[in-house]
Structure 1
Amino acid sequence: MTTTITLSADEYQALLSDHQTLLAEQQRLTQQLRLVTVERDCLKERVDAFLHKLYAAKSEVRANPAQRDLFLNEAEALAPNGTPAAEESTPETIEVAGHNRKKRGRKPLDPHLPREIVRHELPEAERICAHDGSRLVEIGTEISEQLDIVPQQVRVIQHHRIKYACPCCDNSLRVTPAPARIIPKGLLTETALAWVATAKYQDSLPLYRQAALLSRFGGDLSRNTLAASMVRVGHAVQPIINLLRDHLLDADLILGDETVVQVLKESGRAAQSKSYLWAQMTGSGPPIRLFSYTPGRGGTHAQPLYDGIKSGAVLMSDGYEVYNAIAAVRGVIHLGCWAHARRYFVEAEAAIPKAARGPESLATQLIAAISELYAIEAKVKDLSVEHRGQQRQQLSKPVLLKIEGLLLQHLHAVTPGSLLGKALHYLSSQWPKLIRFIDNGAWPIDNNLCENAIRPFVVGRRNWLFCDTVAGARASANLYSLIETCKANRIDPYTYLVDLFRKLPTAKTAEDFEALLPWRLADQTA
């Protein structure tokens, strides 16, 4: 039996209105659920990325079996028979008919090291021939070498400044003047200052460890004495830093980067405030590495570092907005860094569950495509600038078109707040700068050179953690600049600093200071 319900027009309209209200509420709840789900997934992705950064391997390089023993404890490395591994050796090639045979042997010691000859002779009673009784004569030597290490030798240099007087009157008393020093009345000699500077800024040895090391050899110096000496010598080399900056700003290609540094005693700022160390280096002309301290990261701090850069020069940097402003104001060509673009996709790929990873995932596809660009760069790195540019146009341009196609296809199909979405939007915002490297064979594909130059500071920062004062931060920046510039020019930093500290006090003219630049002073010494 069918029951028919008759509704009036008003009742029907009310029921229809209630139904539409329920549908609208359902749609609202569905959208809200979708939004909450996306936010949850983004937050989970961020947590997974943080845990990966905290506990997983830091390198972005894909797994390589050749690197599996990179961090093996050398003291526990055993040969197959269970004995300690033999001395470091290098294969020596011997030409044999039909093929080359590699002969294993101990790696020779540096021929430039000083050598002390120790003769080992037979006793007189054993220099008699057992067959006919004749006396044995020397016909040659069997030579073997060992590496000897002499610990630090701490000594005191006494300066005797002779006094003179007239034997007939008291009006001609004279004293030999003290020699000019980089730190007037300083306690440490130039060689000692160079040793402390290279130990701290090249070998990342904090001053308190240096003080403990020196005390074992009789050099009872406090950490404060060493710190004060570094601050004073770091300020004394400022004329050389100014000259290096002039040469850097004249370069056709400049690379820039920055990193965090903490200064405890800074006027008007809390000890926990972030300050910054800016790195600048040349990509053309004499290799120069410059570091500068600023209390902030904004354009007001960065712009003065590039005052004087010539119009038409090339600036390589990451995607930090301040560099865009510098390029626009100074009229320079701005290049983007493919290493930074790739890094975001590596982070996005790492956040994908292992079960869902595969060559078909977008992050993996883009990483593989960027790797193709680097494979091309490895192939053309030894070519001339002109030929490298031609090869980039021929080989790299199609890869860039493939990357651009993937970018345009997925840019608006991925949640912007996800790691992959952020990677895609970074790639999109940097795209005009990222593709410029194919226009000139002399332009780099990434900013890795500058990141490598700043790495020694980052390693040292893990040991000494912070700077005490602004003066100390600026002095450290100057000494880092000199040491890293020496390394870039293949000059021993310690030898250079000793020569510089001895000659700088007597420099008077612009030509005198110019002669003290690392590559010029090294030529004079040679």
Structure 2
Amino acid sequence: MKNETESLTLEQLQQQNEKLEQQNTELSAKLKWYEEQFRLAQQKRFGASSEKTHPDQLELNLFNEAEVLATPEGQVPEMEKVSYERRKTSGKREADLSKLPVETVTYTLEEGKQICACCSGSLHEMTTETRSEIAVVPPQVKVIRHVRQVYACRHCERHGLQTPIVTAPMPNPVYPGSLASPSAMAHVMCQKVVDSQPLYRQEQQFARMGYTLSRQTMANWMVYGAEQWLMPMIAEMKKHLLQQETLHADETTLQVLREPGKSAEATSYLWLYRTGRGVPPAVVYDYQRTRGGEHPRDFLTGFKGYLHVDAYPGYHKVKDVTLVGCWAHARRKYDEALKAAPEAKGNPETVAAQGLAYCNQLFALERELKEASPEERHKARAERSRPVLEAYHVWLRQQKSRTMPKSLLGQAIAYSLNQWDKLTAFLKDGRLELDNNRSERSIKPFVIGRKNWLFANTPRGAKSSAAVYSVIESAKENGLHPFRYLKYLFEQLPQLPDPQDLKTLEPYMPWSSSLPDTCRMP
């Protein structure tokens, strides 16, 4: 009896061989994909997070980077001969100290010791020696008692039927019925939002300062302060946003424990909207239960202009806008592909290196145009960026068929092709930006804080946190000191006849020129 192999025909063997080769190719591609994912995960966990490209790395003749970076012919770098080293004490240190209050401590000799050891004559002051130190005064908790006098007329008390009583005016409290002061409420908010200190850690800090202040009380302060005084300002900030012609948007996750109809492990979202360049900065966070595209659609109702976004398709639901893509995301795909392929590191001939070089060329031009006017930037992009884009698009179509779609490199190429209309939209207006990093920088403080306080307890608390983040991040963008600005708001807003009237809030907005200098950073 012939064995099974001998009974197969040549054609069947060829088919079997082709099938095995196909399986081998698929398994090799799958193995390569897993290796890429493993190396990328290791790099994200242990490696540097910077995406900067070293100037000596990935040089391509196409962009003449070597010629641009090299020292021009005939020009010799200036040489300096150093004969000794010493610590530089003037300049920056004195400039830094000039911004601080100064307390001077003077040391003198006792009168009986001001005698010359040689001739017993009197010593006189010849000069002084000075040493500077920086001292830290830790925060302290103190009680402020507001006492106002009540006045009456003695003549009316003796002879009149009624005695008029006059009470001295006193500022309205920021939170009636509580011990919260404007400074205490501002301190709790800034500790959580600016310094990412959860309320339970603040509770411990207050205990060390000699006062027991529970985290529940601080949470009540934050919710009341946000709802009563900050949310009306958020409405004015939103109005300011919708009047602009260019905006940025982004979103990130948030866990809310007690959300009706959802489990404690379910994911909610915080959406971010902010202004672009050239206008008074405003940053607004918006808490929502889901990541649905109806949320940016509803929030941006009435806005007509350019919206910088990432690749999330939910933004397509926003009507009457032109979506502008993010080249930082496109560049990051190639950077990840290089980091996941050690053999490609430093090799400018790899496909990933070529894709990264195209992106670098665009960013290099944007750095040159940083101080240009919108009109100059628009013209320069048409003359210099457009040819790079056209060459890059041809290159993308050529590489698509040569690359495994599921590999990191294949995903990088597919990202640029799929987002092409949005990635090239920046050519339409000189006010537009090459990336959406402006919104990513604004949402980063929330992401960092989330790693410390982890979650919000209720939707009401999530909305309040969003309001506090909005005001503080807008204040920082406008060069304000967060604590001093919040303290000023909590002192002034309770004194307004109608704090809900948006017209009366304009002098208190983060971009207002009427804010006192004490609210501004030194």
**TM-score interval (norm. to shorter):** 0.7 to 0.9
AA matched with 2:52: V
Cα separation, 2, equivalents of 1:376 and 1:299: 33
Equivalent position to 1:390, from 372, 379, 383:
379
> What's the counterpart of residue 344 of structure 1?
333
Deviation at 1:45, TM superposition (A): 3.1
Cα separation, 1, equivalents of 2:291 and 2:97: 45
> What's the counterpart of residue 257 of structure 1?
250
> What's the counterpart of residue 10 of structure 1?
none
Cα separation, 1, equivalents of 2:251 and 2:150: 54
Matched, 1:58 2:49: yes
Change (3 A) 1:24 1:143: closer
Equivalent position to 1:377, from 354, 357, 366:
366
Cα separation, 2, equivalents of 1:103 and 1:51: 41
Equivalent position to 1:209, from 201, 208, 211:
201
Q: Say if 1:261 and 1:466, in contact at 8 Å, map to a contact too.
A: yes
Matched, 1:447 2:440: no
Which segment is superposed worse, 237-246 or 28-37?
28-37
User: Aligned with 1:433: secondary structure?
Assistant: helix
Equivalent position to 2:301, from 302, 307, 320:
307
1:330-479 correspondence runs (5 A):
331-354=320-343, 358-479=347-468
> What's the counterpart of residue 484 of structure 1?
473
Deviation at 1:398, TM superposition (A): 2.6
Matched, 1:117 2:104: yes
Q: Say if 1:491 and 1:522, in contact at 8 Å, map to a contact too.
A: no
User: Aligned with 1:519: secondary structure?
Assistant: coil
Deviation at 1:339, TM superposition (A): 0.2
Cα separation, 1, equivalents of 2:89 and 2:366: 35
Percent identical among aligned pairs is: 36
Matched, 1:288 2:272: no
Q: Say if 2:309 and 2:324, in contact at 8 Å, map to a contact too.
A: yes
Q: Which has the higher contact order (CA 8 A, sep 6+)?
A: 2
- Superposed CA deviations along residues 438-482 of structure 1, whole A, max 9, x for unmatched, are 343321111111111111111111111111111111111111111
Deviation at 1:33, TM superposition (A): 4.5
AA matched with 1:449: R
Cα separation, 2, equivalents of 1:468 and 1:379: 47
Deviation at 1:422, TM superposition (A): 1.4
Cα separation, 1, equivalents of 2:377 and 2:470: 31
Change (3 A) 1:64 1:25: closer
> What's the counterpart of residue 186 of structure 1?
178
User: Aligned with 1:468: secondary structure?
Assistant: coil
User: Aligned with 1:258: secondary structure?
Assistant: strand
Equivalent position to 1:277, from 255, 270, 277:
270
- Superposed CA deviations along residues 40-88 of structure 1, whole A, max 9, x for unmatched, are 43344334433333333322224699xxxxxxxxxxxxxxxxxxxxxxx
- Superposed CA deviations along residues 218-246 of structure 1, whole A, max 9, x for unmatched, are 12111111122112112121000110111
Deviation at 1:396, TM superposition (A): 2.2
Give the unaligned 5+ runs of structure 1.
Answer: 1-14, 66-95
Deviation at 1:39, TM superposition (A): 3.6
Q: Give the TM-score taking structure 1 as reference length.
A: 0.82
What number of residue pairs does the alignment pair up?
Answer: 473
Cα separation, 1, equivalents of 2:120 and 2:418: 92
AA matched with 1:58: S
Which segment is superposed worse, 128-137 or 146-155?
128-137
Matched, 1:104 2:88: yes
- Superposed CA deviations along residues 266-299 of structure 1, whole A, max 9, x for unmatched, are 1110111111111111113111111111111111
Matched, 1:235 2:219: no
Deviation at 1:135, TM superposition (A): 4.2
Deviation at 1:142, TM superposition (A): 3.9
AA matched with 2:287: Y
- Superposed CA deviations along residues 24-49 of structure 1, whole A, max 9, x for unmatched, are 55545544554444344334433443
Give the unaligned 5+ runs of structure 2.
Answer: 1-5, 57-79
Matched, 1:247 2:236: no
Cα separation, 2, equivalents of 1:27 and 1:304: 55
Cα separation, 2, equivalents of 1:23 and 1:323: 51
Cα separation, 2, equivalents of 1:41 and 1:292: 41
User: Aligned with 2:97: secondary structure?
Assistant: coil
Cα separation, 2, equivalents of 1:17 and 1:140: 108
Q: Say if 1:496 and 1:521, in contact at 8 Å, map to a contact too.
A: no
Cα separation, 1, equivalents of 2:188 and 2:322: 40
Deviation at 1:182, TM superposition (A): 2.7
Q: Give the TM-score taking structure 2 as reference length.
A: 0.82
Q: Say if 2:175 and 2:224, in contact at 8 Å, map to a contact too.
A: yes
